Chain A
Amino acid sequence: MVAFSIRDLNIWFGAVHALSNLTMDIPAKEILSVIGPSNSGKTTFLRMLNRLNELNVNFRMSGAVDMGGKDIRKMETELVRKKVGMVFALPLPLPLSIFENVAYGVRIHGVKNRNKLEVSVERALRQAYLWEEVKDRLELSAFKLSGGQQQRLCIARTLAVEPEVILFDEPCSGLDPVSTAKVEEAMMKLKTDYTIVLVTNNVKQAARVGDKTAFFLSGKLVELDKTDTVFTVPRDKRTDDYIRGKFG
């Protein structure tokens, strides 16, 4: 099963060529880890999948990204973003209560019934392993939670709109090792139902959770293979250098 099929994708921001000639498939219901040094285009790649790059006025592209056989550029933007959720690098709760943070996306997509909202919120919080910690204080401001809890809240918020794909953009970059482990545990459970793309600066994290791993360098895909293969017998010397920490 293929979730995304990308053909000859080029992306520019003004004069900067951020991604060049990218052709790849993203398998469904697996975790794809994306590694590479800064400015390698991995976040641009991630933000292409839910069309978030288009918020930048200088964005230009060529080529095609198909999801389930349909060109995402021809689908309604809001629908693409509903199907392809995103968790950002920093925990970014909205200035609302815990409950309203999770309910926000559900409300946006038209659910008004309080009971239905409560069911969605509880299910999403359980999926993100946060329910037990917050069930008695749902009306509290989301900013009262710890960093790790906030990030799991953001995962729950993304899950609540029932996406098919979840994009993680360095989700653990601001978290301590214990919180990181909790987020990774959630990701491992989620891959049975969701396609996951994880951009990470932490090579070990990519090795721990990724079924497949892609290595980007200077806007180009260098290597994409099973994680074991990439980390034991990489085909490209530059991949080898990067995962051994020789540059980047």
Chain B
Amino acid sequence: MRNPRRTQKIAFFLLFLATLFIVVPVGLIVIIIIQKGLPAVNWQFLSDVPRQGMRAGGIFPAIIGTVYLVTGAIIFALPIGVLAAIYLNEYAGDNFLTRIIKLAIVNLAGVPSVVYGLFGLALFVVFFRFGASIIAGSFTLGIMTLPIIITTSREALESVPYSFREVSRSLGASKWQTIRYIVLPNALSGILTGTILGLGRAAGETAPILFTVAAFYLPRLPHSVFEQTMALPYHLYVISTQVPNVDEKVRYGTALVLLALVLFMNLVAIVIRFKFRKKKKW
């Protein structure tokens, strides 16, 4: 005899259990990192250069390096990604070629980050002769973020109702005027949120910067975009595996700072989305 109420209870329990399996490890990771890392985080840790072979001092150059890399990636990837999304969504017809392009972009998002690292090494470091530098690293991170920016931007553009475009065109606006004054302003929040989330991911990646920019030990700030720099994810890798006898709290402190940076970027994305949603009128 099947009892529908009991079946439902079992189903709810299983669904709840599955959710718990996701929440608990995430919560544990955050708690452990805060617990072990917080004692290390103080003003000197945030503002000083690494000392005694990275066993003491701070991680200031790594923080700044990551900020530089993320900023460079935005400057490079945001315009290209948004323009490509506008072209694909608003101008390109629906034919075999554009379908292949769209499929390729979706697939690019799934390419392992170490492959982007090798690609950046071949193209920017070697072919364009940038050497291992901030500019090569930024471009590599930017290229890695492009598929995410393009995909989320296209979703944001698509979410603007077709009727708005039709009204605008019926008033004699050109296609570009319609995009510029109606479609883009209403897609902006989605585009920005997608970009920030993509860059948040890029900020924490080690493999793409490994061959293209990251310095093992460079206890000063870079002077130009053609220099190497330290970066948080790589620094964490170095002090965890390459340097013996680093105090545990220094490692966890670095992890905590990286985590806080990424969470902060996600928080900015959430705030932007919330603000625009309040303004959204349809």
Q: B182 touching A94 by the CB < 8 A rule?
A: yes
Q: A108 touching B164 by the CB < 8 A rule?
A: no
- Nearest Cβ on chain B to A59's Cβ, whole angstroms: 14
Q: Once A and B bind, how many residue pairs between them come within 8 Å at the CB atom?
A: 63
A94-B182, A95-B281, A141-B281 are contacts. A78–B172 as well, Cβ < 8 Å?
Answer: yes
**Interface presence of A143 (CB below 8 A):** yes
**Interface presence of B280 (CB below 8 A):** yes
Q: Which residues of A contact B181 (CB under 8 A)?
A: 104, 108
Q: A52 touching B171 by the CB < 8 A rule?
A: no
A57-B93, A95-B282, A143-B282 are contacts. A109–B167 as well, Cβ < 8 Å?
Answer: no
Q: B169 touching A52 by the CB < 8 A rule?
A: yes
Q: Which residues of A contact B174 (CB under 8 A)?
A: 78
**Interface presence of A151 (CB below 8 A):** no
**Interface presence of B158 (CB below 8 A):** no
Q: Size of chain A's interface in residues, with CB distance under 8 A?
A: 26
Q: A85 touching B171 by the CB < 8 A rule?
A: yes
Among residues 167 to 183 in chain B, which have CB atoms less than 8 Å away from a CB atom of chain A? Answer: 167-174, 177, 181-182
- Nearest Cβ on chain A to B280's Cβ, whole angstroms: 7
Q: What is the predominant secondary structure among interface residues of chain B facing chain A?
A: helix
- Nearest Cβ on chain A to B67's Cβ, whole angstroms: 35
Residue of A57, A94, A143 most packed against chain B (CB within 10 A): A94
Q: A92 touching B164 by the CB < 8 A rule?
A: yes
- Nearest Cβ on chain A to B112's Cβ, whole angstroms: 38
Q: B172 touching A161 by the CB < 8 A rule?
A: yes
Interface string of B3-30 (1 = CB under 8 A from A): 0000000000000000000000000000
Q: A79 touching B172 by the CB < 8 A rule?
A: yes
In the complex, residue of chain A having the shortest beta-carbon distance to the beta carbon of B178:
A108
**Interface presence of A88 (CB below 8 A):** yes
Q: B169 touching A94 by the CB < 8 A rule?
A: no
- Nearest Cβ on chain A to B178's Cβ, whole angstroms: 9
Q: Which residues of B contact A108 (CB under 8 A)?
A: 168, 171-173, 177, 181
Q: Which residues of A contact B173 (CB under 8 A)?
A: 78, 104-105, 108
Q: Which residues of B contact A85 (CB under 8 A)?
A: 170-171
Q: A55 touching B169 by the CB < 8 A rule?
A: yes
- Nearest Cβ on chain A to B279's Cβ, whole angstroms: 9
Provide the bound-state CA to CA distance between A142 and B169, in Å.
19
**Interface presence of A157 (CB below 8 A):** yes
Among residues 111 to 168 in chain A, which have CB atoms less than 8 Å away from a CB atom of chain B? Answer: 141-143, 154, 157-158, 161
Provide the bound-state CA to CA distance between A161 and B170, in Å.
11
**Interface presence of A50 (CB below 8 A):** yes
- Nearest Cβ on chain B to A125's Cβ, whole angstroms: 16
Instruction: Given contact pairs A85-B171, A88-B163, enumerate 18 new A-B contacts (beta carbons under 8 Å).
Output: A52-B166, A52-B170, A57-B93, A81-B170, A81-B172, A85-B170, A88-B166, A92-B166, A94-B167, A95-B164, A95-B280, A95-B282, A108-B181, A109-B172, A142-B281, A143-B281, A154-B167, A161-B171
- A residues contacting B by CB (< 8 A) are 50, 52, 55, 57, 78-79, 81-82, 85-86, 88, 90, 92, 94-95, 104-105, 108-109, 141-143, 154, 157-158, 161
